[in-house]
Structure 1
Amino acid sequence: MSTNTSAATSGITSDSSVTILLGRILLSVIFLLSGFGKLTAIAGTAGYFSSLGLPLPTVTAIVVGLIELLGGLAILVGFQTRIVSWVLAIFTVATALVAHTGWADQMQMINFLKNLGITGGFLVLASTGAGKFSIDAKRG
């Protein structure tokens, strides 16, 4: 008789599609809210982007807001999940490097690390796919 006590064999199991759905919901919330916020306050967002030295701050604000809002929506419903997860993973690392490198400020360090954690979630999602509760599975 085997004494293997790994989670896979110990009776502690879950429906991975439910877990993936929960992960997709949690990952999407920050992007949906942030994208909506940026798109409904373009002037403020553009001002912040200008202070970071980003080019064409108004255009950049619109593009970033759309990436966040549409990417968050795609992750939420599970549409083109693997591709969108890669896009958002790269976007999130870029955001960390552009906006959160003032590590002398503890909040900037926390935001940088938060972005790395979110990126990890997207990389896992890019690897696993959206699960059965998704548009991807219905199209599949």
Structure 2
Amino acid sequence: MFIPAGFAKLTGAAGFAGFLGSLGFPAPLAVAYLVGLFELLAGLFIVVGFQTRITAYALAAFCIATAFIGHLNEVSALLKNFALAGGFLYLAQFGAFSPSIDKRSNLDNY
């Protein structure tokens, strides 16, 4: 979900920047590229299981923030973001599973 969304934001940054500008963000084009890059990289990190816990915490915070910033008028999107945040908090608590980079390289010791 985050990989294609991040890619779409990076390739269509002007459109997303227009939306961010309507919300009052300063430098909306720069923010659009940063959000797109974050979504793309964080999605890839979760898929391969690299730095899973910190990435999951970051994505949980991102989902909560975007729920309040961009989805207050869309109940289903708001609830989707809360559900995603809950899933990411679970992943942050319990870490990655066996085939992940974290498990294979002992990065998930805590």
Q: Which category describes the TM-score, using the shorter chain as reference length?
A: over 0.9
* Residues 85-125 of structure 1 deviation map (CA, whole Å, 9 limit, x = unaligned): 000100110000100112xxxxx010000000000000000
Flag as ranges the 4+ runs of structure 1 deviating above 2 A.
Answer: none
Q: Any residues of structure 2 matched to 1:1-140 within 5 Å, and which?
A: 30-102=1-73, 108-140=74-106
> Which ranges of structure 1 fall in alignment gaps of 5 or more residues?
1-29, 103-107
> Which ranges of structure 2 fall in alignment gaps of 5 or more residues?
none
**Local SS of the residue matching 2:72:** coil
Q: Which has the higher contact order (CA 8 A, sep 6+)?
A: 1
Task: Tell me how large the CA RMSD over aligned residues is.
Answer: 0.6
TM-score using structure 1 length: 0.74
Bigger mean CA deviation after superposition, 44-53 or 114-123 = 44-53
1:94 is aligned with what amino acid?
A: A
TM-score using structure 2 length: 0.94
- Bigger radius of gyration, 1 or 2? 1
Percent identity of the aligned residues?
50
